[in-house]
Amino acid sequence: MNLKGRNFITLKDYSPEEIGYLLELASDLKAKKKQGITGNSLKGKNIALIFEKPSTRTRCSFVVAAVDEGAHPEYLGKDDIQLGHKESVEDTARVLGRVFDGIEFRGFKHKTVEDLAKYAGVPVWNGLTDDYHPTQILADLLTMKEHFGYLKGLRFVYAGDGRNNMANSLMIGMSKMGVHFTILAPESLWPKNELVELCQGYAAESGSTITLTEDTDAVKDADTIYTDVWCSMGEEDKAAQRITLLKPYQVNKELMEKTGKDTTIFMHCLPAVKGNEVTEEVFESGASVVFDEAENRMHTIKAVMVATLGE
């Protein structure tokens, strides 16, 4: 499958077959790395890593993935370039596109990564924006596939803030790949209708379902329970209100037991605020696959770069 030259901005732009291909490639690259085999598909390439928001997993994953495949990654923090301040995003994009072979962006406005992609002339990869976090979803899908052996037909529940970038992106990824997807959240924190309708279209094609509910009984038969922090970066002022609103949706032992399955796994994109969205007990339990998920960020990001830029 040829994805050469493609941007990776949101999974809306990728077909189920293309997502499946990236997961297979990631799995292959992971197996090779475990055997001590790295590649040179990015040899001679220079990659710009633009970070408006700090990050552990995204930054480390892009750096290690790039180096493993022979590229040189250059970290550009918010004080290193004039993105959208002294220089417009489109001008910065055109400059960086002349110098670099690929650009990763992690920041606030989704429009910034779209504009970079529009003007850079080289592949642009979304490392997270306020709206979407597609590289995380690939890692989540790979983790589930490794754990269960398949994706289609699994039952997935996302508990917590149902309108943040993770809920949005998970709904897109799961509905495309045939995973039954439930958002368990107070109605005031459900995703936008237009995105729900779009994903219902994906679900109809893949044979899965989308459910939005406030009822914790909806976790019955879930294969995966997923959560994220109750306050995203930049929302710290809403913390007290969110804790009150979301406390009934905490992933704790009782919620995990409500699935009626002893095979249910717990997932989280990290970092976690233990005692808020998840208890220490569940986080540290045998059901938790959060560190497999964190490692898989690197293998899936490597697959995206190899597929879109590699030789």
The residues that are catalytic are 106, 133, 136, 228, 269, 297
Q: How many helices (H) and strands (E) does the chain have?
A: 11, 9
The annotated binding site is made up of: 55-58, 82, 106, 133-136, 165, 228, 232-233, 269-270, 297
Residue 74 bridge partners (DSSP): 48
Distance, CA of 47 to CA of 69 (rounded, Å): 12
The annotated binding site for L-ornithine is made up of: 165, 228, 232-233
Residues in the chain: 311
Residue 266 bridge partners (DSSP): 225, 288
The annotated binding site for carbamoyl phosphate is made up of: 55-58, 82, 106, 133-136, 269-270, 297
Residue 182 bridge partners (DSSP): 157, 211
Q: What is the DSSP string of 203-271?
A: HHHHT--EEEES-GGGGTT-SEEEE--SS-TT-GGGHHHHHHHHGGG-B-HHHHHTT--S--EEEE-S-
- R_g over Cα of the chain: 19
Hunting for tokens 């592949």 — which residue is that?
A: 123
